[in-house]
């Protein structure tokens, strides 16, 4: 890669409108975003705001209602192997081994390479994600974390122009999640593919990305704010956590999310306790629940 | 189970558990069979000999259902078909499994045709809304038609084949009647392929052909095998009817001939054989089916 493309991905006023029984609902409205080549961006926002919707549109698996999407200077339409995707559940084909799952993509993209080269490529990526010994197992024989490793290896093995990750570690316990974040960074260090990743986890976003894109709440969600993460690469989790800037950044993100949290009800509750119930409640001591950010 | 018995730490609860398992697994079915045999014996007819005043012996039928042979009589009269199951004494006097074998061969042929035609139709129904709109009504109308109704049409269709018309008509009938579960289950299976798997194919831009063989077929296999199992059951039902109509040699034909000759014990033997074979085929197919489900 000689000259970096300053505009690897350009999302220009993306709209997504779904037809629902109650009439059309606009989930995403005027979503603008530019990603530089080799940039790692995360997309953060409250559940249901439309993060997956944006990602699916970029992946080409969901149509744009309006707007333009330009990938590496070309209008992108429909899905293709130039965008590697990792979902929350890894969607491996259960009748194939981990190796065969990766090979399915490799065969498709490198049809000109020799069979040995293609095998080596799949083995290489599976080994980097730590599945050197388990690559000939079926998904049912692998743990959730190992399956997700296969999913990541499959996406990287395509050597795509872009990597799209939708909460790839959302279903994992925190230990496995940390491990896989390192695996992801290790792969990304070797091959800096432009990445857009959806996450719920503020720390994950700061640790992994160059920029954090915050989305406002839906419907009609758009980009609310963008936060630059200045930490040097390669990153070390411990060093970052000890960096005084870390808490500033974290604070910024949490404030943004808290201001848009769903905790405060927007309408008066329709259910009102009867006088009897209120009296009964008053006579008893209930532990007071407090919400912490 | 057995190693548990040798285990020194075995407690009474486990012992009780094993014996109830044994009870439900073997004793209860045996009790059921015994009960049915008892009822059968009770209602079956018999023959009593009586000397008339003029010195002749007169046979008098007895019992609740006078013409129904009892279990013992059935065994005695049909023994020769069972103890030499593959013997061929005459064209119409052969061992029961030999007759069954003839039927199975025809079933295998007709059933194969059903799968070869039914599976692709199922895939097309599952994949194409247009195809479904066009052909679903016809399928729903043809599906409930009895084999007895198809058989004459089958023979008519192959009238040109001369002496083979009956055989081809039989295959046609088996194929047409047994095809539907395969068609419908395959279609349901194709529609139920998770969107995730299809997305994998889309993202990798797999060709139509590759998507079919690498994604759709493997994902549909469990449904297809459910269809195949049900189809085999129907094919086995149909063969009996077909043989009665065409006079092809086989278990159904044996049953019908023996009925016409008044040998009612053979009817019972045939029914039991047909039942056993059908059960065995079903077991075989569910073994295959569960193999594919476990993937
Ligand atoms: N096919 C559809 N038809 C109608 N509404 C839809 C459809 N798909 C998604 N939505 C709505 O769009 C909104 C955004 O969904 P989306 O899955 O993008 O949210 P998200 O930000 O990814 O949430 P989460 O963090 O929980 O994954 C939701 O309110 C959802 O109900
Ligand atoms: Mg989502």
Q: Is B204 on the interface with A (CB under 8 A)?
A: yes
Domain residue limits, chain B: 2-43, 84-293
Q: What is the pLDDT of residues B185-241, one digit of tens each?
A: 999 999 999 999 999 999 999 999 999 999 999 999 999 999 999 999 999 999 988
Banded model confidence at residue B281, pLDDT cuts 50, 70, 90: very high
Instruction: Give the model's pLDDT for residue B244.
Output: 87
Atom of ligand 1 lying closest to residue A167 CA: 27
pLDDT of residue A291: 40
Q: What is the rounded distance in angstroms from the CA atom of residue A52 to the CA atom of residue A198? A: 7
Per-residue model confidence as pLDDT tens for chain A (293 residues): 457 788 889 999 999 999 989 889 999 999 999 999 999 999 999 988 999 999 999 999 999 999 999 999 888 888 989 999 998 888 899 999 999 999 999 999 999 999 999 999 999 999 999 999 999 999 999 999 999 999 999 999 999 999 999 999 988 899 999 999 999 999 999 899 999 999 989 999 999 999 999 999 878 888 888 999 999 988 999 999 999 999 999 999 999 988 887 644 445 555 566 667 666 666 655 444 444 33
Best mutation site among A43, A48, A167 for ligand 1 pocket (most ligand atoms within 8 Å of CB): A48
How far apart are alpha carbons A143 and A139 in whole angstroms?
8
Rounded to 5 degrees, what are φ and ψ at A195? Answer: -130, 135
What percent of chain B lies above the pLDDT cut of 90? 60
Task: Kindly list the strands in the beta sheet with A9-20, ordered across the sheet, starting from the edge strand earlier in the chain.
Answer: A23-35, A9-20, A66-71, A74-75
Ligand 1, residues at Cβ distance < 6 Å: A 18, 20, 27, 45, 47-53, 218
Inspect the interface and report whether the beta carbons of B203 and A89 lie closer than 8 Å. Answer: no
H helix and E strand count, chain B: 13, 4
pLDDT tens digit sequence for A62-88: 999 999 999 998 888 889 899 999 988
B84-293: CATH topology is: MetI-like fold (1.10.3720)
**Side-chain half-sphere exposure of B45, counting CA atoms within 13 A:** 12
The beta-strand segments (E) located in chain A are 9-20, 23-35, 40-44, 66-71, 74-75, 83-86, 162-166, 194-199, 211-215, 223-228
Task: List residues, by chain if needed, whose CB lies under 5 Å from ion ligand 2.
Answer: A 52
- Residues B33-52: tens digit of each pLDDT: 999 999 999 998 888 888 87
Name the residue of A17, A29, A50, A199 whose CB sits within 8 Å of the most ligand 1 atoms, as the mutation to test its pocket: A50
- The alpha carbon of A138 and the centre of ligand 2 are apart by a number of angstroms equal to 27
> Does residue B156 surpass a pLDDT of 50?
yes
Query: With b meaning 16 or more CB within 10 Å and e meaning fewer, what string describes B112-148?
Result: ebbbeebbebbbbbbbeeeebeebeeebeeeeeeebe
Integer-rounded Cα Rg, in Å, for chain B is: 26
Q: Identify from A62, A71, A90, A93 which residue to disrupt to test chain B contact, counting B C-beta atoms within 10 A and taking the largest count.
A: A93
Prediction ipTM score? 0.79
As beta bridge partners, residue A34 has A10
Q: What is the pLDDT of residue A133?
A: 93
More confident residue, A217 or B280: B280
Cα–chain center distance at A15:
19
Per the rule left: phi > 0, alpha: psi between -120 and 50, beta: everything else, A35 is: beta
Q: Which stretch of A234-238, B81-85, B131-135 has the lowest confidence by average pLDDT?
A: B81-85
Which domains does chain A show, CATH number per domain?
7-82+160-283 (3.40.50.300)
Q: Which of B189, B203, B291 to mutate to test the interface with A (most CBs of A within 10 A)?
A: B203
- Structure confidence at residue B293 (pLDDT): 72
User: Which residues, in sequence order, are CB contacts of B111 under 8 Å at separation 6+?
Assistant: B174, B175, B178, B231, B232, B235
* CB atoms A93 and B218 under 8 Å: yes
Question: Is B13 at the interface with chain A, CB within 8 A?
Answer: no
Q: Which ligand is closest to the CA of A28, given by its number?
A: 1
What is the average pLDDT value for chain B, to the nearest integer? 89
Determine the pLDDT at residue B65: 86
């Amino acid at each position: 890669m000689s000259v970096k493309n300053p505009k690897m991905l350009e999302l220009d006023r993306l709209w997504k409108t779904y037809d629902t029984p109650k009439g059309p609902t606009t989930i995403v409205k005027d979503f603008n975003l530019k990603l530089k080549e080799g940039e790692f961006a995360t997309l953060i926002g409250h559940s249901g705001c439309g993060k997956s919707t944006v990602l699916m549109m970029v992946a080409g698996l969901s149509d744009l209602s309006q707007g333009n999407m330009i990938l590496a200077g070309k209008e992108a339409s429909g899905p293709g192997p130039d965008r590697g995707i990792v979902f929350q559940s890894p969607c491996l084909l259960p009748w194939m081994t981990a190796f065969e799952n990766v090979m399915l993509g490799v065969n498709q993209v490198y049809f000109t390479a020799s069979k040995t080269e293609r095998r080596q490529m799949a083995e290489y990526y599976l080994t980097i994600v730590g599945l050197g010994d388990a690559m000939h197992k079926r998904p049912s024989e692998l743990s959730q974390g190992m399956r997700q490793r296969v999913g990541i290896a499959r996406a990287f093995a395509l050597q795509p122009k872009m990597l799209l990750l939708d909460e790839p570690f959302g279903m994992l316990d925190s230990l496995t999640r940390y491990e896989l974040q390192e695996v992801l960074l290790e792969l990304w260090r070797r091959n800096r593919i432009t990445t857009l990743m959806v996450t719920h986890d503020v720390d994950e976003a700061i640790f992994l990305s160059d920029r954090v894109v915050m989305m406002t709440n839906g419907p009609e969600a758009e980009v609310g704010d963008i936060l630059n993460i200045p930490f040097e690469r390669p990153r070390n989790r411990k060093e970052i956590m000890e960096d005084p800037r870390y808490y500033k950044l974290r604070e910024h993100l949490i404030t943004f999310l808290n201001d848009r949290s769903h905790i405060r009800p927007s309408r008066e509750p329709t259910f009102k306790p009867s006088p009897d119930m209120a009296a009964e409640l008053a006579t008893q001591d209930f532990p007071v629940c407090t919400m912490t950010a | 189970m057995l190693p548990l018995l040798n285990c020194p730490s075995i407690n009474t609860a486990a012992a009780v558990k094993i014996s109830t398992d044994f009870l439900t697994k073997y004793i209860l079915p045996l009790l059921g069979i015994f009960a049915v045999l008892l009822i059968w014996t009770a209602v079956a007819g018999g023959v009593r000999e009586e000397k008339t005043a003029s010195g002749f012996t007169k046979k008098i039928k007895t019992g609740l259902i006078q013409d129904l042979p009892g279990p013992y009589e059935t065994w005695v009269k049909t023994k020769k078909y069972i103890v030499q199951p593959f013997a061929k004494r005459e064209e119409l006097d052969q061992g029961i499994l030999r007759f069954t074998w003839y039927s199975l061969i025809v079933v295998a042929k007709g059933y194969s045709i059903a799968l070869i035609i039914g599976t692709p139709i199922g895939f097309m129904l599952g994949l194409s809304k247009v195809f479904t709109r066009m052909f679903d009504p016809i399928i729903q109308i043809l599906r409930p038609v009895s084999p007895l109704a198809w058989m004459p049409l089958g023979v008519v269709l192959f009238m040109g084949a001369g002496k083979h018309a009956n055989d081809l008509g039989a295959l046609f009938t088996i194929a047409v009647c047994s095809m539907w579960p395969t068609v419908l289950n395959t279609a349901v299976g194709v529609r139920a392929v998770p969107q995730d798997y299809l997305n994998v194919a889309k993202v990798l831009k797999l060709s139509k052909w590759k998507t079919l063989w690498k994604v759709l077929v493997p994902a549909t296999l469990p449904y297809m095998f459910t269809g195949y199992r049900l189809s085999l059951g129907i094919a086995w039902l149909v063969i009996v009817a077909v043989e009665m109509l065409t006079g092809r040699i086989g278990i159904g034909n044996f049953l019908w001939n023996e009925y016409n000759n008044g040998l009612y014990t053979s009817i019972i033997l045939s029914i039991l054989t047909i039942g056993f074979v059908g059960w065995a085929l079903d077991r075989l197919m569910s073994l295959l089916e569960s193999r594919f489900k476990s993937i």
